[in-house]
Chains A and B, each alone.
Chain A
Amino acid sequence: MTIGKKTLRLLLAASLLAAGSAHAQSASTLQKIKESGTVVLGVRPAVVPFSYFDDQQKPLGYSQDVALAIVDGIKKKLNLPNLTVRTIAITPQNRIPLLQNGTIDIECTTTTNNVEREKQVAFSNTIFVIGTRLLTKKDSGIKDFADLKGRTVVTNAGSTSEPILHKLNTEQNLGMTITTQKDVAESFLSLSTGRADAFMLDDAMLAGERAKSPDANDYVIVGKAQSREAYGCMFRKDDPDFKQVVDDAVSRLQTSGQADVLYKKWFDGPIPPNGLNLHLQESDDLKTLFKAPNDKPLS
């Protein structure tokens, strides 16, 4: 059948195209930045308070401040004080392809450094440590994971919390209904409209969603952290020179005490655009990290 052949040929062309674009870059990132006079940062439009847009669509946040510190490091290294900084909005789905095909050079958002991802990309020194916990309404009666028996729990599709929930279900026989939504906003909507009794995710993101809600005081973050994850800045693999510049910038930030200042600014103080306050205490994991910067994945 001619249609069949044509379809097959198109498919082949599409796959070759995909492979071709993935092949496209080979030069080192520092060289690419030097030649183009531009560094391209990946940013997330709405992950408060790590990486989000203010009312002028300008990217800001804790991770963005780290990214800017790294950009300063690149400027010094390349002796390019007027380096242009471009930002591109990314999603969890496209961040690795966009990095691999050279669209972005580095992204400091909320990407977890794990062994699986290290096969494809490289990570900086850890910039933040989170624990996966629960957000629930104060009157839900849920104080820890054991209280989830027979309840409905929502989490983000593709998050690290999803496998943990499935595991809890099989190992502790909790009989939870596990449901997923595509992003934090939708998952929180599930919780606030009563479709789900609890929302499991990284504690910092739960605090961000809680702060955004008009009735923030009705929600509590509970439960013992079921996993810890290290957020790192992500860039292309096999590029030791670039990694050195990035890691140095992050270490300097953390050992000089500037990282603590950043923490207070974004997690325990009023943040733009509306002066929300996350009221999230600095965890012991984070204090330890700031004393001894490292790039070890925790998961």
Chain B
Amino acid sequence: MSYRWDWAVFVQPVATGEPTTYLGWIAAGLEATVGIALAGWIVALVIGTAMGIVRTLPGRWLYACSATYVAVFRNIPLIVQFFIWFWAVPELLPGHLGTAIKHMPPTESAALASVVCLGLFTSARVCEQVRAGLQALPAGQWAAGLSLGLSRFQTYRYVLLPVAARNLVPPLTSEFLNIVKNSSVASTIGVLELTAQAQRMIDYTSRSYESFLAIVVGYALLTGIIMFVGRRIERSVRLSFGSDGR
């Protein structure tokens, strides 16, 4: 017996009776993946950068808090975090707030949980990248800033962060790639993103290889774009007197 490829399956109308084709499902999944990954990335970048800076500040209490934050979000499996945010958190919130979340349109409540979950999970990773980026700077830069009479805030704002940010482009690009791929876990709480749509397509057409190859192309497309943009940013912000001599 041999496998019979059937690419025409993508232009068939879907079995659920919605007015679309299987290709339409994949496209809708791609859109949802882009949406939650992008929104999650904004959350991750804002919170992660703030936490990363906090991790480099003096003070034992601040350090303990930020270290705990990173440990919690980085050490619990992502799929468990998704479950907690979607199923458990609304039950733990005070009465009417939890009910309000549960009575949101189901796609919206699942998307909200996904953005929060992916954003916070990735922020813990971004935090560590930012901390490493700041700590990698020579101690003299910090001392130089202060000796010029800059405040601690000004030293970060005008000296440390601009230099660190340039070095952070490659690792943050890779975190962005990760959040796109991790968004596939959102399929476990009912978000119809790329992976979920492929699974749904398999359920109705039993075309496993075609469906998965389609989403391979989808993910490759997204990550390809991110890598391309990341490289462009990296090149455009590179200092003319960098260690590579250019």
Contact = CB atoms under 8 A, between A and B. Distances in A.
Contact of A238 (B1, B3, B99, B209): B1
B20 to A, nearest CB: 11
A163 B208 contact: no
A93 B199 contact: yes
A14 B189 CA distance: 29
Task: Count chain B CB atoms within 10 A of each CB in A116, A180, A189, A195 and give the residue with the most.
Answer: A195
B83 to A, nearest CB: 9
Interface in A206-261: 236-238
B173 to A, nearest CB: 14
Interface stretch (A15-23, A77-85, A274-282): A15-23
Nearest to A121: B206
A91 to B, nearest CB: 9
Contacts of A14: 213, 216
B15 to A, nearest CB: 5
Interface stretch (B48-56, B101-109, B146-154): B101-109
Contacts of B109: 195
Interface SS of B by simple majority: helix
Contact of B220 (A7, A116, A117, A157): A7
A7 B203 CA distance: 28
Task: Count chain B CB atoms within 10 A of each CB in A22, A96, A236 and give the residue with the most.
Answer: A22
B233 to A, nearest CB: 17
Interface string A147-160: 00000101001110
- How many chain A residues sit at the interface, stated as a range, is 35 or more
Contacts of A26: 1
A39 B82 CA distance: 38
A117 B105 CA distance: 33
A92 to B, nearest CB: 6
B18 A166 contact: yes
A150 to B, nearest CB: 13
A180 B16 CA distance: 12
A25 B190 contact: no
B17 interface: yes
A97 interface: yes
Contact of A22 (B2, B105, B196, B224): B2
A31 B112 CA distance: 53
Contact of A23 (B2, B16, B90, B189): B2
Interface string A89-122: 0001110110010000000000000001100100
B17 A157 contact: no
A167 interface: yes
B112 to A, nearest CB: 13
A177 interface: yes
Given A100-B1, A163-B17, A93 B106 contact: no
16 contacts: A19-B209, A22-B209, A23-B1, A25-B1, A26-B1, A93-B202, A116-B205, A157-B192, A157-B200, A170-B17, A179-B190, A180-B192, A182-B190, A193-B87, A193-B102, A196-B106
Given A19-B209, A23-B1, A193-B102, 13 more contacts: A22-B209, A26-B1, A93-B199, A93-B202, A116-B205, A157-B199, A157-B200, A167-B17, A180-B192, A182-B196, A186-B189, A194-B102, A195-B102
